[in-house]
Structure 1
Amino acid sequence: MVSSCPEAWGGSEELWAGAALHLKAAGHEVQAFKTNVDYQHPRILGLHAAGCQVTDLEQLPALRTRLLNRLLPYHRQYSRRRLAQQVLRRGLLAFQPGLVLVSQGSNFDGIPYAQVCQELGLPFVLLAQKAVDFFFPPWYEREVIQAAYRAARHCYFVARHNLELTQFQLGQQLPAASVVWNPYNVPFHSESPLPSITPEATIRLACVARLEVLDKGLDLLLQVLSQDKWRNRPLQVTCFGSGADRQALEEMTAMLRLGDTVRFAGQVSDVQAIWQSHHALVLPSRNEGLPLALVEAMLCGRPAIATNAGGIGEILVDNETGFLAESASVAALDQALERAWRHRTDWQRLGSAAARHARATVPTDPARHFSEKLRSLALV
Structure 2
Amino acid sequence: MRIAFISLMANAPWGGSEVLWSNTAAYALEQGHEVFFSAFEWPSPHANINKLIQKGAVSYFRPHPTLKTRLINKLYKAAKVSSPEVAAIKKFNPDVILFNQGGAYTLRYWPELLAFAKENAIPYHLICHSYNEVVTFAEKQQKFIVSIFEGAVKVFTVSLQQKAIIERQLAHSITNNIQVSNLLNLPAEYPIPFPATTIDVPQLACIGSLTILAKGQDILFEALSSKKWKDRPWQLNLFGTGPDLDYLKRLASFYRIDDKVKFRGHVANMAAIWAECHLLIVPSRIDSGPMVVAEAMICGRPVVSTRVGIVPEWITSGDTGYIAEGITSHALDQILEVAWNDRYNWQKIGQQASIFGKNKMAASPVELFLDQLLTAENL
Change (3 A) 1:87 1:354: farther
Single out whichever of 45-54 and 286-295 deviates more from structure 2: 45-54
User: Which digits, 9 at most, give the CA deviation of each residue in 1:200-257, with x for residues without a partner?
Assistant: x310011001111111111110001111111111110011111111111111111111
**Which aligned pairs between 1:7-156 and structure 2 lie closer than 5 A?**
7-38=12-43, 40-58=45-63, 68=68, 86-111=83-108, 112=110, 113-156=113-156
Residues 104 and 77 of structure 1: CA distance in aligned 2, closer, same or farther (over 3 Å) = farther
Identity across aligned pairs (percent)?
A: 29
Write out per-residue CA displacement over residues 108-151 of structure 1, whole angstroms, 9 at most, x where no aligned residue.
01232434322332110000011111013455533221111010
CA contact (8 A) 2:158 2:309 kept: no
In the alignment, the residues of structure 1 paired with residue 309 and residue 235 of structure 2 have an alpha-carbon distance, to the nearest angstrom, of 26
> Whole-Å Cα distance in 1 between the matches of residues 184 and 264 of structure 2?
20
Q: Report how far residue 88 of structure 1 moved.
A: 2.9
CA distance in 2, matches of 1:46, 1:172: 39
Q: Which amino acid aligns with 2:160?
A: R
Closer/same/farther in 2, CA of residues 149 and 254 from structure 1, 3 Å limit: same
Write out aligned runs for 1:111-260 (5 A): 111=108, 112=110, 113-187=113-187, 189-196=189-196, 198=198, 201-260=200-259
* C-alpha distance 262-59 of structure 1, shift in aligned 2 (>3 A): closer
- Residue 133 of structure 1 aligns with an amino acid whose one-letter code is E
Change (3 A) 1:216 1:376: same
CA distance in 2, matches of 1:222, 1:97: 48
TM-aligned CA distance change 1:296 to 1:228, over 3 Å: same
In 2, Cα distance between equivalents of 1:203 and 1:117: 53
Structure 2 unaligned blocks of 5 or more = none
Alpha-carbon separation, structure 2, partners of 1:77 and 1:297: 47
SS where residue 226 of structure 1 aligns?
coil
Q: Is the 8 A contact 1:211 1:246 kept in 2?
A: yes
Indicate how the Cα distance of structure 1 residues 159 and 77 shifts in structure 2: closer, same or farther if over 3 A, else same: farther
Q: How many residues align?
A: 368
- Indicate how the Cα distance of structure 1 residues 251 and 119 shifts in structure 2: closer, same or farther if over 3 A, else same: farther
Letter in structure 2 aligned against 1:236:
Q
1:68 to partner: Cα distance: 2.7
Structure 1 unaligned segments of length 5 or more: list them.
Answer: 70-74
1:129 is matched by which residue type in structure 2?
H
Change in Cα spacing, 1:139 to 1:262, as seen in structure 2 (3 Å) is: farther
Q: Structure 2 length normalisation: TM-score?
A: 0.91
Deviations 1:15-57 (A, max 9, x none): 0001111111111101111113456421111111221122102
Conservation of the 8 A alpha-carbon contact between 1:205 and 1:280: yes
Contact 1:202 1:236 in 2 (8 A): yes
Deviates more, 1:85-94 or 1:274-283: 85-94
SS at match of 2:106: coil
Aligned match of 2:366: 367
2: distance between equivalents of 1:352 and 1:183?
A: 22
RMSD: 2.4
- With normalisation by structure 1, the TM-score equals 0.90
